[in-house]
Amino acid sequence: MRAQPGEILYLDNNATTQVDPQVLAEMMPWLTEQYGNPSSGYRLGRLAAEAVERARTRVASLLKCQPEEIIFTS
């Protein structure tokens, strides 16, 4: 691994990690428009809860496990 002159070589990933551009693109609607609380009962919250469950299912599929084994934390 070599950094070019003036390029940042970030090694403190324990504290924070750069967001992958594909992840950021997927998250932008939830960060800017559809930011309902998934634990609430109002429409935006229900949409957010459905998205969380879809994400849980996708992650479980990638890891070849059951969705209920995936726990998201913040």
3-state secondary structure the chain: CCCCCCCCCCCCCCCCCCCCHHHHHHHHHHHHCCCCCCCCCCHHHHHHHHHHHHHHHHHHHHHCCCHHHCCCCC
First to last CA, the chain: 31
Decide: pTM greater than 0.75.
no
- 66 — pLDDT class (breaks 50, 70, 90): very high
Residues in the chain: 74
Q: What is the arithmetic mean of pLDDT over 15-37?
A: 90
Instruction: Quickly tell me which residue has 């992650």 as its tokens.
Output: 59
- 39 — pLDDT class (breaks 50, 70, 90): very high
Residue 4 confidence (pLDDT) above 70 = yes
